[in-house]
Structure 1
Amino acid sequence: MQNEPVLHSEESPFGFDELFFSRTDEAGIIRAGNAVFQRVSHYSWEELLGKPHKLVRHPDTPRAVFRLLWNTIKAGAPIGAYVKNRAKDSRHYWVFAIVTPIAGGYLSVRLRPSSDVFQIVQKVYPALAADERREKLDPDQSLARLSGQIQGLGFASYPEFMATALGRELAARNTALARPADKALRHLEALRDLAKNLLQNADRMEEAYKQNEIVPTNFRILASQLGQDGDAIGVISNNYVLLSDDMRSVLDLLMRAAHDIQRAIDDSYFLLAVARVQCEVVSVFRTEKDDESSAGEVERLDLQATDYLSRAKLSLMDIAEKTKFRDYCLEMSRLATGLEVMRVVGKVECARHESVKERVDKLLSDLQTFQLTIAGALQEIGRINLSIEAETAALIKEADLAA
Structure 2
Amino acid sequence: MARATPSIDPSHSDIDSGESAFGFDELFFSRTDLAGIIKYGNSVFQRVSVYSWEELLSKPHKIVRHPDTPRAVFWLLWKTIKEGKPIGAYVKNKAKDGRYYWVFALVTPVDGGYLSVRLRPSSEFFGIIENLYPALAEQERRENLSPEDSAKLLLSKLNELGFDNYAAFMTAALGKELMSRDNHLGSNEDGVILRFDQLLKVTQSLLREAENIAAAYKASEIVPTNFRILASQLGDDGAAIGVISDNYSLLSKDMHTLVEGFIASAQSVVDAINTSYFLVCTARVQREVLDFFGQEQTETHQSVREREMDLLRRQQAEYVAKAQDSLSDISIKCNGFRRTCLDLDRLATGLEVMRVVGKVECSNYLGVKDRVDDLLNKLETYQRTVTGALRTLTHTNTLIQQETDILRKQAERAA
What TM-score range do you get, normalising by the shorter chain?
over 0.9
Greater shift, 390-399 or 203-212, is seen at 390-399
Partner of residue 226 from structure 1, selected from 228, 234, 244 = 234
CA apart distance, 1:70 = 0.8
Match of residue 362 from structure 1 = 374
Match of residue 18 from structure 2 = 10
TM alignment of 1:26-37, pairs within 5 A: 26-37=34-45
Match of residue 349 from structure 1 = 361
TM alignment of 1:224-303, pairs within 5 A: 224-289=232-297, 291-303=302-314
Q: Give the structure-1-normalised TM-score.
A: 0.95
> Tell me, what secondary structure is at the counterpart of 1:271?
helix
Query: Does 2:398 match 1:386?
Result: yes
Asked whether the equivalents of residues 240 and 362 of structure 2 are also in contact (C-alpha less than 8 Å), the reply is no
Asked whether the equivalents of residues 31 and 41 of structure 2 are also in contact (C-alpha less than 8 Å), the reply is yes
Match of residue 133 from structure 1 = 141
CA apart distance, 1:280 = 0.8
Residues in 2 aligned to 1:81 and 1:303: alpha-carbon distance in whole angstroms: 23
CA apart distance, 1:72 = 0.9
Query: Does 2:50 match 1:45?
Result: no
Residues in 1 aligned to 2:113 and 2:411: alpha-carbon distance in whole angstroms: 32
Greater shift, 188-197 or 238-247, is seen at 188-197
Query: Does 2:306 match 1:313?
Result: no
> Tell me, what secondary structure is at the counterpart of 1:14?
coil
Residues in 1 aligned to 2:122 and 2:188: alpha-carbon distance in whole angstroms: 17
CA apart distance, 1:88 = 1.0
CA apart distance, 1:355 = 2.3
Asked whether the equivalents of residues 81 and 87 of structure 2 are also in contact (C-alpha less than 8 Å), the reply is yes
CA apart distance, 1:312 = 1.1
Provide Cα deviations, 1:147-200, integer angstroms capped at 9, x if missing partner. 222222111111111111101100111111111111122222233223222121
Residues in 2 aligned to 1:399 and 1:272: alpha-carbon distance in whole angstroms: 8
Match of residue 398 from structure 1 = 410
Residues in 2 aligned to 1:372 and 1:220: alpha-carbon distance in whole angstroms: 23
Match of residue 331 from structure 1 = 343
Match of residue 3 from structure 1 = none
> Tell me, what secondary structure is at the counterpart of 1:324?
helix
> Tell me, what secondary structure is at the counterpart of 1:398?
helix
CA apart distance, 1:9 = 5.9
Residues in 2 aligned to 1:19 and 1:45: alpha-carbon distance in whole angstroms: 18
Residues in 1 aligned to 2:317 and 2:260: alpha-carbon distance in whole angstroms: 36
Residues in 2 aligned to 1:399 and 1:380: alpha-carbon distance in whole angstroms: 28
Unaligned runs of 5+ in 2: 1-15
Residues in 2 aligned to 1:47 and 1:316: alpha-carbon distance in whole angstroms: 43
> Tell me, what secondary structure is at the counterpart of 1:310?
helix
Greater shift, 325-334 or 46-55, is seen at 325-334
Match of residue 8 from structure 2 = none
> Tell me, what secondary structure is at the counterpart of 1:323?
helix
CA apart distance, 1:350 = 2.8
Residues in 2 aligned to 1:22 and 1:108: alpha-carbon distance in whole angstroms: 5
Asked whether the equivalents of residues 98 and 110 of structure 1 are also in contact (C-alpha less than 8 Å), the reply is yes
Query: Does 2:117 match 1:109?
Result: yes
CA apart distance, 1:287 = 1.4
Residues in 2 aligned to 1:285 and 1:191: alpha-carbon distance in whole angstroms: 32
CA apart distance, 1:401 = 5.0
CA apart distance, 1:330 = 2.3
TM alignment of 1:36-75, pairs within 5 A: 36-75=44-83
Match of residue 119 from structure 1 = 127
- For the aligned residues, what is the CA RMSD? 1.6
Query: Does 2:173 match 1:165?
Result: yes
Residues in 1 aligned to 2:290 and 2:349: alpha-carbon distance in whole angstroms: 58
Provide Cα deviations, 1:227-267, integer angstroms capped at 9, x if missing partner. 11111101101101111222223333332222221111111
CA apart distance, 1:202 = 1.1
Residues in 2 aligned to 1:248 and 1:186: alpha-carbon distance in whole angstroms: 38
Query: Does 2:30 match 1:22?
Result: yes
CA apart distance, 1:79 = 0.6
> What is the count of residue pairs matched by the alignment?
396
Match of residue 12 from structure 2 = none
Residues in 2 aligned to 1:217 and 1:15: alpha-carbon distance in whole angstroms: 66
Residues in 1 aligned to 2:196 and 2:309: alpha-carbon distance in whole angstroms: 27
> Tell me, what secondary structure is at the counterpart of 2:194?
helix
Identity %: 56
> Tell me, what secondary structure is at the counterpart of 2:335?
coil
Provide Cα deviations, 1:55-82, integer angstroms capped at 9, x if missing partner. 1100000001111111111111111000
